[in-house]
Copies of this chain bind each other. A is one copy, B any other.
Amino acid sequence: MYRIALDVMGGDHAPHATLEGARKALEAHEDLFLFLVGDEARMRPLLETHGIRGGLAARTELVHAASVVTMDDKATAILREKRDSSIRVAAKLVKDGMADGVVSMGHTGAAMIASMKVIGMLPGVDRPALASVLPNMKGRPTVLLDVGANVECRSEHLVQFALMGSVYAEQVLGVRNPRVGVLSVGEEDAKGSDTTKMAALTLKGLDINFAGNAEGRDIWNGAFDVVTCDGFVGNVVLKSSESLAEGILRGLRDSIMGSLRSKIGGFLIKPAMLSFKKKLDYAEYGGAPLLGVRAISIIGHGRSDGRAVANGIRAALRACEHRVADRIHTAMSELLPQAGYGTPGEGDGAE
């Protein structure tokens, strides 16, 4: 049985979308136990509404949290005025060994701070990385990280992200000997910023399948399995890609509606188009794992619906099954000394 703490109050459509997602996940996974963290008085009557009863309810426990981090709050609010917020209480359950992981669709920064400061970081990891699993043109996943946790990064952070991404691709996604690249502006070694060049130089000396610089196109063409970048670039690429994909499908639909001939064609391709759209749909992935944390932490889109929440919980379960945190820990212990960073210490202490 895996125990996941769900931040029921986090997200644009909370608590309804989160509770709906909880029910779906409980139905789908018999080995799932959920801590439902939030305003208890508000959640209790909603359990019935969302069909969390009987055997499903038996695998849940309501945990009260008096406040919620809103989009107007600073991420660090959870450490001070909002210590009783749902995301912090959920993270605390993990820290105290009650839960194996936490899932939140709320304030990304707050979920990150809760993961870093309450659950704590793995030894040897300076910064956590939000990893996005993207479908590439070879029909396989490409792990892009960081996609938003760290706006500014030094080369050693890019190196750590690359190592964590490689472990994740291999252990969770089943990619054998993942090809790892540093995102840059050209494939030649001389191309890039000082930070990316230095990261590439270090990665060359490590016992992973490092394949040099990746360019923007390599995020999608399947030439690399793992692409490391700072959270600024990663966030911009992710958001621009979501928007572009949406725009292309919409533009195509408008083109198709322009003539009777193509309207009929459009009707005929509709099932194919829907199945394809599903592949690009963020909700299919549910959430991005925050790698480098001592336990499992999944951070989802604010606009997640019930399906996205359920998929986020599924992502947490998978990460638990694959013991992601342990495996990153082991890999970092083996690889980091090669990078000349010395033996990892005790990591950032949890509060």
Q: Which residues of chain A have a CB within 8 Å of any CB of chain B? A: 136-137, 148, 151-152, 183-185, 192-194, 215-221, 229, 231-233, 235-245, 247-252, 255-256, 258-259, 261-262, 264-273, 275-276, 279-280
Contacts and interface: CB of A to CB of B under 8 A. Distances in A.
Contacts of A233: 232-233, 236
B216 A238 contact: yes
Given A219-B243, A272-B255, A183 B262 contact: no
A258 B268 CA distance: 12
A280 B229 CA distance: 26
A271 B231 CA distance: 40
Nearest to A214: B236
Q: How many copies does the complex hold?
A: 2
14 contacts: A151-B192, A151-B193, A185-B231, A185-B236, A216-B242, A217-B243, A220-B240, A220-B244, A248-B248, A255-B276, A256-B272, A265-B265, A265-B266, A266-B268
A215 to B, nearest CB: 5
Contact of A241 (B241, B259, B261, B265): B241
A1 B249 CA distance: 43
Contacts of A237: 216, 236-237, 240
Given A137-B251, A266-B265, A272-B259, A216 B243 contact: yes
Contact of A240 (B137, B241, B262): B241
A221 B246 CA distance: 10
Contacts of A252: 252, 272-273, 276
B248 A280 contact: yes
B259 A240 contact: no
A150 to B, nearest CB: 10
A242 B261 contact: no
Contact of A279 (B241, B250, B251, B273): B251
Given A269-B262, A273-B252, A280-B248, A216 B232 contact: no
A129 B217 CA distance: 21
A231 B193 CA distance: 10
A219 B245 contact: no
A285 to B, nearest CB: 16
A262 B255 contact: no
A37 B243 CA distance: 41
Contact of A232 (B137, B193, B243, B251): B193
Given A245-B248, A248-B280, A271-B262, A240 B255 contact: no
A209 B275 CA distance: 42
A196 B220 CA distance: 27
A217 B236 CA distance: 8
A267 B265 CA distance: 7
